[in-house]
């Protein structure tokens, strides 16, 4: 049995806490907590401008940013504001707690240099973490072996021959579908405006599906809509005053199309989450999320199986079939069996479809809005189309795909470029090692945001000390013809044209389109720039030419004509209403 000595009893009494002990303990705990709090507070990188207030809160700039973005729907607007407030081409903001500040770079010359020439920067984990749900899609990989492996598989899909022979005719036929839908809506609306947001989205979705599956897939998103409206009697359409929009019923689309339609929204919400990986994990447990990705797996497996059969019988037409062909050739070279069951085919093609529809439909919506708001530009464009495609005009028919593809239309190119300039999203990169930008220290792992809607883009550049630029930036050829004194917020396509004569004409003989005339980050730049740019251009060019050729885009009421956007993987307008009359 244990016994307690008198000495032990006395020392036990000694250990009973006194007020003094408590005070010491409180002070120690408070000091430790205060030290921890100070340590967790945002820690600015020396020499880079920041918002002082943000360094006094654990949450840094996040509460202010979230408050503003919840109203505007746009992170880029908040970024541009910070740059202007700090009046510096490079500044830092504290968005994710307990991590490195994010760097905002608002200087086109240096942005171009980082994106195109500097090996110390690569795809950002800010984007990759938010795109985890896209599986083995190349857009989330750093520029290494996995990235190259996938890129090899899709190397045929942006070639001139694939675009002109497979994608172009699909673009043209989907364009005809959506023009038919517009005409039906126009007739039913009797001079009233109506939303075309879903129509552009569905048309673009149909293009991407045909790009991937060709005629192996028969369902479209626009088809059911056309069918629904064709059965709608004039008496079933509810009218109000002439300026009130007419709402049309929306036909349901197949589950797989719904999955493709919703996937970009999931990606966008995850990218913008404070903890994207946690969010993806949490969502992946939920039934609505599982439904989307289970459906994607089911259909992609079905489509790969059809494509494998076609490939084996010597028919290679669609996007997936070309990917299988590349894998077949690669396997043969490496002396192994092709791995057609790999998830890479399903994830890669799904990623490309997702990357292509939301972005391009957003671009077409902006164009429709701008051409409505600037009727002189609309008229000039129509005239240019009629004069350039004069045979079709004389024969009183729409141009063919071959005609529009071959037509040189510098003015239309400029219209598209100018729309892209105004609506570019914020491209990102990550530092792969400790380095510098504009002479400021940048630690490995830092996320860089290239602000493309602030100084140097939509307002004059902030003067920058050239000696602080990188060597490659200083060595690069400068373009000094861009006029920053002419209001940069205005939609003015002629900024992108170089005149060949003294007249005012806008045809091929009068002007050249110069895509390098001014700052442009709409498709990013460098090795990780947009892979689908050529397809996007073909689609916007064809569909917008069809729209302007067939219809007059009449003025819409101010309440339906806002230029507010939602920013995600693309910047899309919050509203897109048209009031059409047939030409």
Q: Does 109 bind ligand HEM (CB under 6 A)?
A: no
Torsion of CA 139, 141, 145, 146, to 10 degrees: -70
Could you tell me the smallest distance in angstroms from the CB atom of residue 363 to ligand HEM? Answer: 4
Least separation in angstroms between residue 166's CB and ligand HEM is 12
Task: Using CA atoms of 249, 216, 298, 266 in order, give the dihedral in degrees to the nearest 10.
Answer: -50
Q: Which of 484, 464, 443, 475 is nearest to 90 (CA)?
A: 464
- 64 binds ligand HEM per the rule CB under 6 A: no
Residue 296 DSSP code: H
Nearest Cα to 358, choosing from 261, 498, 472, 232? 261
| 168 close to 401: Cβ distance less than 8 angstroms | yes
**Shortest gap between Cβ of 514 and ligand HEM (angstroms)?**
19
Nearer to ligand HEM, 41 or 363 (CB): 363
Is residue 359 involved in binding ligand HEM (CB under 6 A)? Answer: yes
Q: Does 289 bind ligand HEM (CB under 6 A)?
A: no
| Closest CB to ligand HEM among residues 347, 352 | 352
Among 528, 541, 544, 549, binds ligand HEM (CB under 6 A): 528
> Going by DSSP bridges, is the β-strand pair 447-450/427-431 parallel, antiparallel, or unpaired?
antiparallel
Instruction: With CA atoms as reference, report the closest residue to 212 among 324, 377, 48.
Output: 324
Query: Among 130, 245, 276, 356, which residue sits at the site for ligand HEM (rule: CB under 6 A)?
Result: 356
CB of 94 to ligand HEM, least distance (A): 23
530 marked among binding-site residues: yes
Query: Least CB distance from residue 352 to ligand HEM, whole Å?
Result: 5
> H or E element: which one contains 511?
strand 511-513
| Residue 73, Cβ density class (10 Å: 0-12 exposed, 13-18 middle, ≥19 buried) | middle
Asked if 116 touches ligand HEM (CB under 6 A), the answer is no
- Span 401-440, contacts to ligand HEM by CB under 6 A: 425, 427
Contacts with 235 (C-beta within 8 Å, 6 or more apart), sequence order: none
Tell me the window of 97-105, 225-233, 407-415, 529-537 that interacts with ligand HEM (CB under 6 A). Answer: 529-537
- 383 belongs to the binding site for ligand HEM (CB under 6 A): no
To which H or E segment does residue 441 belong? Answer: strand 440-442
Asked if 103 and 453 touch (Cβ cutoff 8 Å), the reply is no
Site membership for ligand HEM, residue 355 (CB under 6 A): yes
Size of the residue set binding ligand HEM (CB under 6 A) = 22
Spatial CA neighbour of 581 closest among 44, 182, 123, 108: 182
> Which residue number, 51 or 452, has a Cβ lying nearer to ligand HEM?
452
Binding flag, residue 530, ligand HEM (CB under 6 A): yes
User: With contact defined as beta carbons under 8 Å apart, do 466 and 488 qualify?
Assistant: no
Q: By CB under 6 A, which span of 82-90, 331-339, 523-531, 550-558 interacts with ligand HEM?
A: 523-531
As a whole number of Å, the end-to-end CA separation of the chain is 107
Interface with ligand HEM by CB under 6 A: which range of 356-364, 499-507, 551-559, 572-580?
356-364
Region binding ligand HEM by CB under 6 A among candidate stretches 12-20, 172-180, 253-261, 522-530: 522-530
How many residues in the chain? 583
Phi, psi of 582 (to 5 degrees): -80, 145
| Interaction of residue 367 with ligand HEM, rule CB under 6 A | no
452: tokens are 């493309």
Considering the rule CB under 6 A, would residue 93 count as an interface residue with ligand HEM?
A: no
Q: Which of 365, 522, 544, 580 is close enough to bind ligand HEM by CB under 6 A?
A: 522
Contacting residues for 388 by C-beta, under 8 A, at least 6 apart: 407, 408, 409, 507, 508
**Candidate ranges 65-73, 214-222, 306-314, 517-525; the one touching ligand HEM (CB under 6 A):** 517-525
Within 54-124, residue ranges assigned H as helices are 62-72, 75-86, 108-117
Tokens of 128: 């990759």
- 103: enclosing H helix or E strand: strand 102-105
Among 133, 536, 543, 576, binds ligand HEM (CB under 6 A): 536
| Residues in CB range of 544: below 8 A, 6 or more apart | 364, 367, 368, 371, 412, 415, 416
Q: Does 319 bind ligand HEM (CB under 6 A)?
A: no
571 or 579: CB nearest ligand HEM = 571
Under the binding rule (CB under 6 A), the answer on residue 139 touching ligand HEM is: yes
Q: Contact with ligand HEM (CB under 6 A): which of 51, 111, 270, 360?
A: 360
Of 103 and 188, CB closest to ligand HEM:
103
Distance CA 89, CA 473 (A): 15
523 binds ligand HEM (CB under 6 A): yes
> Which window, 29-37, 350-358, 465-473, 542-550, contacts ligand HEM (CB under 6 A)?
350-358
Cβ proximity to ligand HEM: between 175 and 355 the closer is 355
Q: Which residues contact 562 (CB under 8 A, 6 or more apart)?
A: 573, 574, 575
240: which 2 tokens?
A: 């109000």
Binding-site sequence positions for heme: 530
Numbered residues of the known binding site: 530
Query: Under the rule (CB under 6 A), what is the footprint of ligand HEM?
Result: 123, 139, 352, 355-356, 359-360, 363, 425, 427, 522-525, 528-532, 535-536, 570
């Amino acid at each position: 049995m244990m016994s307690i000595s008198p000495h032990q009893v006395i020392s036990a009494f000694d250990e009973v806490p006194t007020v003094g002990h408590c005070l010491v303990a409180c002070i120690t705990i408070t000091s430790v907590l205060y030290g921890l709090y100070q340590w967790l507070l945002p820690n600015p990188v020396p020499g880079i401008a920041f918002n002082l207030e943000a360094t006094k809160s654990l949450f840094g700039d996040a509460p202010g940013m979230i408050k503003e973005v919840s109203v505007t729907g746009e992170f880029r607007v908040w970024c541009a504001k910070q740059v202007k407030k700090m009046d510096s081409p490079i500044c830092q903001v504290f968005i994710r707690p307990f991590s490195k500040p994010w760097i905002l770079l608002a200087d086109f010359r240096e942005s171009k240099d980082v994106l195109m020439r500097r090996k110390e920067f690569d795809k950002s984990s800010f984007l990759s973490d938010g795109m985890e749900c896209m599986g083995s899609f190349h857009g989330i990989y750093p520029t290494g072996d996995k990235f190259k492996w996938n890129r090899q598989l899709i190397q045929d899909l942006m070639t001139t021959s694939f675009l002109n022979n497979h994608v172009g005719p699909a673009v043209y036929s989907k364009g005809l579908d959506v023009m038919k839908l517009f005409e039906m809506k126009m007739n039913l609306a009797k001079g009233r405006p109506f939303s075309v947001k879903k129509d552009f989205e569905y048309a673009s979705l149909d293009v991407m599906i045909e790009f991937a599956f060709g005629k192996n897939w028969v369902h479209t998103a626009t088809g059911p809509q056309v069918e629904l409206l064709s059965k709608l009697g004039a008496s079933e359409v509810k009218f109000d005053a002439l300026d009130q929009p007419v709402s049309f019923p929306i036909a349901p689309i197949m589950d797989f199309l719904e999955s493709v339609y919703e996937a970009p929204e999931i990606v966008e919400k995850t990218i913008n989450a404070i903890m994207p990986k946690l969010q993806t994990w949490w969502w992946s447990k939920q039934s609505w999320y599982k439904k989307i990705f289970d459906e994607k797996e089911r259909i992609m497996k079905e489509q790969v199986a059809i494509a494998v059969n076609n490939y084996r019988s010597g028919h290679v037409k669609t996007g997936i079939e070309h990917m299988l062909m590349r894998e077949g050739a690669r396997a043969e070279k490496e002396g192994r069996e092709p791995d057609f069951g790999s998830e890479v085919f399903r994830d890669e093609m799904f990623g490309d479809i997702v990357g292509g529809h939301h972005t391009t439909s957003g671009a077409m919506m902006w164009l429709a809005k701008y051409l409505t708001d600037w009727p002189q530009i609309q008229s000039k464009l129509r005239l240019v189309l009629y004069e350039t495609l004069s045979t079709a005009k004389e024969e009183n028919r729409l141009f063919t795909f071959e005609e529009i593809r071959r037509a040189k239309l510098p003015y239309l190119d400029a219209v598209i470029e100018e729309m892209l300039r105004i609506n570019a999203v914020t491209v990102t990169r990550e530092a792969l090692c400790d380095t510098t930008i504009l002479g400021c220290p940048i630690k490995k792992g830092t996320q860089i945001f290239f602000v493309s809607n602030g100084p140097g883009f939509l307002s004059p550049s902030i003067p920058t000390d050239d000696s602080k630029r990188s060597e490659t930036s200083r060595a690069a050829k400068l373009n000094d013809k861009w006029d920053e004194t002419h209001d940069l917020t205005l939609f003015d396509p002629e900024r992108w044209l170089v005149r060949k004569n003294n007249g005012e004409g806008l045809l091929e003989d009068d002007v050249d389109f110069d895509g390098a005339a001014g700052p442009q980050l709409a498709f990013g730049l460098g090795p990780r720039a947009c892979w689908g740019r050529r397809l996007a251009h073909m689609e916007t060019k064809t569909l917008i030419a069809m729209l302007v050729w067939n219809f007059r885009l009449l003025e819409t009421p101010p309440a339906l004509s806002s230029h507010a956007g939602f920013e995600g993987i693309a910047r899309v307008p919050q509203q897109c209403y048209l009031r059409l009359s047939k030409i």
